[in-house]
Structure 1
C-alpha cells in the first residue's frame, strides 16, 4: 500500500472513531434521560430532587473521569458536587419533612450517598493518588478498580438512590408528564448538536487529510525530480528535507547515492584521462621503433642491390609485418576508446552516407552494390554509422572468394529501431564461427592470406551495443553472409569516434 493511501486510511479510521464517539454520546444521553426521569417530583421537590440527582451524577462522572485519565480537572465536578449535594439533600429533607414516606426515602438516599463515598469513592481516590509511588500501590489500585468499577459496585449503590428518587416522584405524575415533554425537547436539540459536531469532525478531518496528502505529494515530487536528475547524469544535486520521517530517510539515501555516483564519476573521468595519456605514450613509443625497422628494411634493400628472390621476399615480409603491427596498435587504441569519447548527434540520410562510404572505399568495378529500397534518415552520431558501414562493406569485399560479387544493403522500420542488413554472396560463415568473428583479433583466414588486424568487427559490435542496438549474423557456409544490426530511433547517449579498421 502506498504511503499516501496509508495516511488516508488512518485518517479515515480516526474520523470513524469520531463518529462512534458521537453516537456513543447520543446513546449515553438517552440513558441519562431515563435517570433524570426518576427525579421528576412536585415543584420544589422535583427541582431539588433533580438537582440532587444531577449532583450525584456529576460526582460519579467526575470520579470516573479521574480514575480513567488520572487528570485532576476531572475531579472538579466531584468535589463541587460533594459540597452542593449535602446542601441539596438537606433542603430536600426539609421539603419532605411533612411526608413521612418521602422523608424516609430522602434519608435512605443520604445514607446511600455516604456509603458510596466511604466504601467506593474515597478508597479509589486514595489508591489512585498512591498508584505512582510503587508497583505495589499500582497493583493495589488496579485490583481495587477491577473489583469495584468494572464489577459495577458503585453503580449498584447509586442505583438504590435513583430508585428512591423514583419513589419520591410517584405522587407528582402530572408535573412529571409536563417535565418529560420539556426534556424530550431538550434531547432533540442535544441530538441535533451531536450530529452537527459529527459532521463538523468529518469535514475538519477530511480537510486535514487533504492538506496532509498535498504536503506529502509535494515532497514526493521533489524526490522524483531529484531521482530524474540523477538518472540523467547530474550527480551534483541534493535535496534538504527537515521532516525527520521515513520520506526524509529516503531523501537522504538519494543524496548519499548522488554523492557516491559523483565521486565515482570523477574517479572514472580521471582514469579515462590517464588511459588516454597512456594510450598516446604507448602508441608513440611502439610506433617509433616500428618506423625505424621499416626504414632500415628499405635501406638494406637499397644497399644490397640484389636480385635474390628469397632476400627480396624476406624484406617485403618484414615491411608487411611492420605495417600489420602498426595497424594492430591503431586498432587496439581505437577499440579502447569506444564508449569513452562523445560525438555530436545529428540527423542524417543513410542513403547519402552509403554513397560517401563507397566513394571512400572505391570497391572494384566487378562488385555490384545494390539498394533495393531507399534507406531511411536516422538520428545519431554520423561518423560512427560511417564506421559500421565501412567495416561491413570492406569485409564483404575483402573476404569474397571470387573477384566478382554482389552486396545488398537494405533497411526496415521497427517500433523503436531501424534494422539494417548488409548481405553478400561470398563464401559464408559457418555457424560455429558466427559468434567468434566479433571477438577481438579473430579472423576467418590466416593473416598471411588476408592482411587484417581482426579488430574491425569487434569495434562494429561495440559501437552498436553502446548505442543500445544489437548485431548478429545469418549465414550458411557457401551461401553468402548477412550482417544485421539495429539502430535506435531515439539516440542513445555518448558514442565514440573510432577509425575504420578491418
Structure 2
C-alpha cells in the first residue's frame, strides 16, 4: 500500500471518528429537545386545565350572585365564563387528542359542565328572571330552587368536574416530573457521551498518528543509518524494505546508489593503483635516463677541457634542461599525490611551522620575513600546511625583482577559518594573471629567465581547496603581491563526523 494512501486512510479514520462524535451529539440533543417539548406540553395541559377551572368558578360565582340578589350584573361573569370555558375546552381537546386517557377525562369534564348548565344553571336563571312577573312564576322558581340548589345538585356536578381536573393535573404532574427527570438524564448523558466520544476521537487520533509517525520515523532512521554508512565508505551496506511504497522506492534508490558507488570505488581503487604504478614507472624510468644525461654532460665538459664560451654555455643549458625536466616530473608527482593520502591530524603551532619553513628556505640575508608572535595553534595535516607556506615563501623570494625585500605575514581569525596573508614588496602581478598563475605549468616569466615548473601554486591551490579553504591574490603591477588563503579551524574530516553525529 502506498504511503500517501496510509496517510489518507489515517486521516479518514480520524474524520470518521469525529463524525461519529457529531452524530452521537446530535442524537442526544434531539432526545433532550423531545424531553423539553414533552415538559412544555405537560405544562400547557396543566395551565389550560387551571384556566378552564377558573372559567367554571366564574360561572358558579356569577350564578350564585344572581340567584341571591337578582342583580343581572352578576350574570356577566356567568356568560363570560361559558365563552372562556369553551375556548379552554377546545384547547385541551387539541392538546390531549394524542393521549386517549387524558382526552377522555377532558370530554367527561365538558359533559359535566353541559349537564350543569342545561339541567341546573340555565333553568334557574330563566326561572329567576320570570319570578317577579307573577306569583305562579315565583312559586315555580322557589320549587325549582328547592329541588336543585338547596339539595346541592349543581355543586355535586361541579365537584365531579373538579375531581376530573384533579386527575388530569395529577397525571400531568407525574408526567412532568418523569419527563424532567428524563431531560436531566438526557442532558447528563449528552455531556458524558460528548466528552467520551471526543476523548475517544482524540485518543484514537493520537494513537493512529503515533503509529503511523513512529513507523515512518523508524524507517527514516534506518535510511539515515544506511546513508551514513555509505558516507563513511561502507558501500556494501544495504536495507531491505518490502512495503512497496514511496519510502521503499527511496530505499531502493539508496541501495542502487550504494551498489553503484561500490562499483565506482572499486574501479577508482584500481585506477589509483594503476596511477601509483605509472608514477613509479615515471619516477624510475624517466629520472634514471635524465640523471644519466646529466652525468654524461658533466663528463663531456670535464673531458673537453675547453674554454670555448659557447660550448660551456650549451653544456650548461643542457644540464639545466635536464634539471628542469626532473623538477617537472617531481612537481607532477607531488601534484598527483595531493588529497590521495591520509596524513595524521595533529595540533601544530603555525608560527613554528612558518619559522621552520623560513629556516629551510635559507633566503638571502637581505630578505626579511615578519612573522607575528600571536599566531594560532591548528589541528590538521602539518605537512600540507608546511608545503603551502614553503611554496608561497619561496615564490616571494624567487620572483622578487630586487636583491632585497620584505615579506610580511598576517593572520585574521574568522568564524570557521583562519585567514593568512603573505605580502611581499615585489613587482606585483597584473589582474589578468590572478587566476592564471594557479593553473598547472603556468609561469609569469619565461623558464629561461626564472627557472620554474609552474606546479607550485597549483599544488598550493589544490591543498587549500582539499581542506575546504580558498586562496586568492590581491595585487597590482608594480605594487607588490598579497597571497590570501583561508585554513579551517576544524579539519574537514572532523567537521563531517560532527555533522553526521548531529
TM-score, normalized by the shorter chain, greater than 0.5 = yes
CA distance in 2, matches of 1:294, 1:285: 15
The corresponding residue for 1:16 is: 18
The corresponding residue for 2:371 is: 371
- How far has the Cα of 1:360 moved from its partner? 1.1
Identify if the C-alpha distance between structure 1 residues 165 and 324 changes in structure 2 by more than 3 Å, giving closer, same or farther.
farther
**Which stretch of structure 1 is more off in the superposition, 6-15 or 442-451?**
6-15
The corresponding residue for 2:208 is: 209
* Residue pairs, 1:79-118, within 5 angstroms: none
TM-score (norm 2): 0.66
**Which stretch of structure 1 is more off in the superposition, 337-346 or 204-213?**
204-213
CA distance in 2, matches of 1:487, 1:461: 12
CA distance in 2, matches of 1:478, 1:6: 72
- How far has the Cα of 1:193 moved from its partner? 5.5
- How far has the Cα of 1:292 moved from its partner? 2.5
- How far has the Cα of 1:404 moved from its partner? 0.8
The corresponding residue for 2:331 is: 331
* Residue pairs, 1:271-286, within 5 angstroms: 271-286=271-286
CA distance in 2, matches of 1:214, 1:11: 18
CA distance in 2, matches of 1:217, 1:25: 40
Identify if the C-alpha distance between structure 1 residues 318 and 197 changes in structure 2 by more than 3 Å, giving closer, same or farther.
same
CA distance in 2, matches of 1:379, 1:449: 39
CA distance in 1, matches of 2:7, 2:363: 68
The corresponding residue for 1:84 is: none
> Radius of gyration: which is bigger?
2
- How far has the Cα of 1:317 moved from its partner? 0.8
The corresponding residue for 1:236 is: 236
Instruction: Pick one of 138, 155, 166 that aligns with 2:98.
Output: 166
The alignment status of 1:287 with 2:219, answered yes or no, reads no
5+ residue gaps, structure 2, are 43-95, 105-167, 495-502
SS class of match (1:493) = helix
The corresponding residue for 1:317 is: 317
| Contact 1:339–1:466, Cα closer than 8 Å, also in 2 | yes
- How far has the Cα of 1:394 moved from its partner? 0.5
Identify if the C-alpha distance between structure 1 residues 199 and 377 changes in structure 2 by more than 3 Å, giving closer, same or farther.
same
| Contact 1:419–1:487, Cα closer than 8 Å, also in 2 | yes
SS class of match (2:253) = helix
Identify if the C-alpha distance between structure 1 residues 222 and 402 changes in structure 2 by more than 3 Å, giving closer, same or farther.
same
* Residue pairs, 1:10-49, within 5 angstroms: 13-27=15-29, 29=31
| Contact 2:29–2:190, Cα closer than 8 Å, also in 1 | no
| Contact 1:18–1:201, Cα closer than 8 Å, also in 2 | no
| Contact 2:351–2:373, Cα closer than 8 Å, also in 1 | no
CA distance in 1, matches of 2:253, 2:177: 68
| Contact 1:294–1:322, Cα closer than 8 Å, also in 2 | yes
The alignment status of 1:471 with 2:403, answered yes or no, reads no
CA distance in 2, matches of 1:477, 1:260: 50
5+ residue gaps, structure 1, are 41-163, 495-502
Q: CA RMSD in A?
A: 3.3
| Contact 2:379–2:491, Cα closer than 8 Å, also in 1 | yes
The corresponding residue for 1:256 is: 256
The corresponding residue for 1:298 is: 298
Identify if the C-alpha distance between structure 1 residues 6 and 382 changes in structure 2 by more than 3 Å, giving closer, same or farther.
farther
| Contact 1:235–1:258, Cα closer than 8 Å, also in 2 | yes
- How far has the Cα of 1:31 moved from its partner? 7.8
CA distance in 1, matches of 2:358, 2:405: 15
- How far has the Cα of 1:417 moved from its partner? 0.3
The corresponding residue for 1:144 is: none
CA distance in 2, matches of 1:470, 1:294: 39
The alignment status of 1:392 with 2:392, answered yes or no, reads yes
CA distance in 2, matches of 1:6, 1:381: 54
- How far has the Cα of 1:168 moved from its partner? 5.0
CA distance in 2, matches of 1:433, 1:370: 26
Identify if the C-alpha distance between structure 1 residues 411 and 193 changes in structure 2 by more than 3 Å, giving closer, same or farther.
closer
SS class of match (2:493) = coil
CA distance in 2, matches of 1:168, 1:224: 78
- How far has the Cα of 1:170 moved from its partner? 6.0
Identify if the C-alpha distance between structure 1 residues 359 and 239 changes in structure 2 by more than 3 Å, giving closer, same or farther.
same
The corresponding residue for 2:61 is: none
The corresponding residue for 2:266 is: 266
* Residue pairs, 1:353-368, within 5 angstroms: 353-368=353-368
CA distance in 1, matches of 2:294, 2:481: 37
The corresponding residue for 2:414 is: 414
CA distance in 1, matches of 2:16, 2:217: 21
Number of equivalenced pairs: 369
CA distance in 1, matches of 2:245, 2:299: 80
Deviations 1:303-338 (A, max 9, x none): 322222211211111111111111111111221222
SS class of match (1:440) = coil
The corresponding residue for 2:89 is: none
The corresponding residue for 1:497 is: none
The corresponding residue for 2:190 is: 191
CA distance in 2, matches of 1:168, 1:472: 107
